[in-house]
Chain A
Amino acid sequence: MTEQHEDPKFEQWLRDAAKAYHSPLPTPREEMWKRIEEARRHKHVIELRPWMRWAIAAAAVLVLGIGIGRWTATPSSGPNGTTLATNDSAGRHVTREIDSLAGVAYQVAATQYLSRTEAFLTSFRADANRSANTARLARQARELLSSTQLMLDSPAANDPRLRSLLEDLELVLMQIAMLNPLQDGRDRDLITEGMSQSNVLPKLRSAIPAGPVSARTQGAL
């Protein structure tokens, strides 16, 4: 279809002029390859596992409440009219249901925590114009740092690879939390340099299931 506003002269000029838009740098192929290899080594090893439940206490309380509430609301009774709450097998069934619900909730919460951290660090590193407010960045880093430290104190940290990732995250978040507004630019450069050296973002991404957060948790609840 020929559009009314086609103008070969303009189009040629536009193509030439637009070459300067986001003009790429030489491809850093060796650096990227190194990170790809490292990230692939970690892939499939760091997984969100049921023991992460201990790290997300708030979600656990919520789900346990829902689980118990659902069970007690079910009008099930034994042959003599006694409720199943006093029966051992029913008790085990409830425990299994609660465990299952809790496991799902912990996975959702942990995925969201890792996704938030990834979004925060990606944005921090990409923020070349330093427009973000230092105080706010520090506050956000402190919030994420609390979650990271909670996970480090949990059985989740028994996995050496996840522990290594959490320790890297803790260090980076701690540095951001302590950013000095007076030496902001230099400090940020040092932090982003440290992030690249420790390969923290590729490792973090490897620990997050592919797809947007909503898709990752879709169908889980």
Chain B
Amino acid sequence: MDESQLIARVRSGDRAAERALYDAHVDRVYRLAFRLAGDDALAQDFTQETFIRAFDRLGSFRGDAAFSTWLHTITTTVVLNGLRKVKRFRQRETDIDDAHEIGTVHRQAEPDLKLRLKQAIDALPEGYRTVFLMHDVEGYTHEEIGTALGVETGTSKAQLSRARAKLRVALADFAGEWAQ
């Protein structure tokens, strides 16, 4: 059975088809949610929310694009909105916190490459970080990214290029690693 038939069965209320559609896509959705959120509980929440919305709105899926593209549009919307909400909530907490405590955490020097890379990726602007993770880490094409994020393909390419440039500067201490 091809995917359009599967989708038609889901629309007609076939629960087994729902499960089959979920099984076909859940790994990629969860992986992307995890990459962006960096937390299992959040990634699970976002994945669940993505599928709940997708099943609820399947009637509006017209099949102009691939189902996976449509689903990843929902995924990125759910994840980025969710992360913004958590960030705002944590920011309010941080504002109340003792400033000395915060400063200490951020000033810690970290010589380890893995942690430095993590810090550098975390520090990227949201758009750059999302495009970098989707393209370079999860292997999405610029066309898929453009559709998912609602931007032009050229914008996705430009953001990736700028993300890499920022990371290169941030990781300059480790230039020997890639110059070999």
Q: Chain B residues near A15 (CB, 8 Å)?
A: 136-137
Q: How many chain A residues have a CB neighbour from B under 8 Å?
A: 49
Q: Are B43 and A24 in contact (CB under 8 A)?
A: yes
B30 and A10 contact, CB distance less than 8 A: no
Name the contact of A136 in the complex, choosing from B34, B49, B93 (C-beta under 8 A): B93
B96 within 8 Å of A by Cβ? yes
User: Which segment of B52-60, B65-73, B142-150 sits at the interface?
Assistant: B52-60
Which residue in B49, B52, B137 is a CB contact (below 8 Å) of A21?
B137
Determine whether the beta carbon of A205 is less than 8 Å from that of B49. yes
Residues in chain A near residue B164, CB distance under 8 A: 5-6, 10-11, 14
Question: A43: CB under 8 A from chain B?
Answer: yes
Contact residues of B between 24 and 49, Cβ < 8 Å to A:
26-27, 30-31, 34-45, 47-49
Chain B positions 90 through 111: 1 when the CB is less than 8 Å from some CB of chain A, otherwise 0: 1001001100000000000000
Complexed CA–CA distance, A36 and B85 (Å)? 21
- Interfacial chain A residues near B158, Cβ < 8 Å: 1
Q: Return the 8 tightest CB-CB contacts between A and B, nearest first.
A: A13-B178, A24-B34, A22-B38, A3-B161, A123-B89, A5-B165, A27-B30, A24-B31
Chain B positions within 8 Å of A, measured between CB atoms, are 19, 22-23, 26-27, 30-31, 34-45, 47-49, 51-53, 55-56, 81-82, 85-86, 88-90, 93, 96-97, 113-114, 117-118, 121, 132-133, 136-137, 154, 157-158, 161, 164-165, 167-168, 177-179
A-B contact pairs, 28 of them (CB 8 A): A1-B158, A1-B161, A5-B165, A6-B164, A7-B168, A9-B179, A11-B164, A12-B178, A17-B114, A17-B117, A18-B117, A18-B136, A19-B137, A21-B35, A22-B35, A25-B34, A27-B26, A27-B30, A31-B44, A32-B44, A32-B47, A36-B22, A36-B51, A39-B48, A123-B93, A126-B41, A136-B93, A210-B53
- 13 new A-B contacts at CB < 8 Å, known A14-B167, A21-B133, A212-B85: A6-B161, A10-B168, A14-B164, A17-B177, A18-B133, A22-B38, A24-B43, A28-B40, A28-B44, A31-B44, A36-B52, A43-B56, A126-B41
